[in-house]
Amino acid sequence: MKSEEIIEVETASVACDGDGEAAGHPRVFLSLKQQESYEVICPYCSKHYRLKEGVQLHDH
Least Cα distance to 42 among 3, 12, 11, 8 occurs for: 3
Write the pLDDT tens digit of every residue in 28-48: 999 998 767 899 999 999 999
Q: Is the pLDDT of residue 52 over 50?
A: yes
* Number of Cβ within a 10 Å radius of residue 4: 7
- Residue 60: its pLDDT value, please? 54
Least Cα distance to 40 among 28, 58, 25 occurs for: 28
Instruction: Tell me what the pLDDT averaged over the chain comes to.
Output: 85
Cα dihedral: 35, 57, 55, 7 (round 10): 40
Domains, the chain, in order of start with CATH, read 6-51 (2.60.260.40)
Write the pLDDT tens digit of every residue in 9-31: 999 999 999 886 777 899 999 99
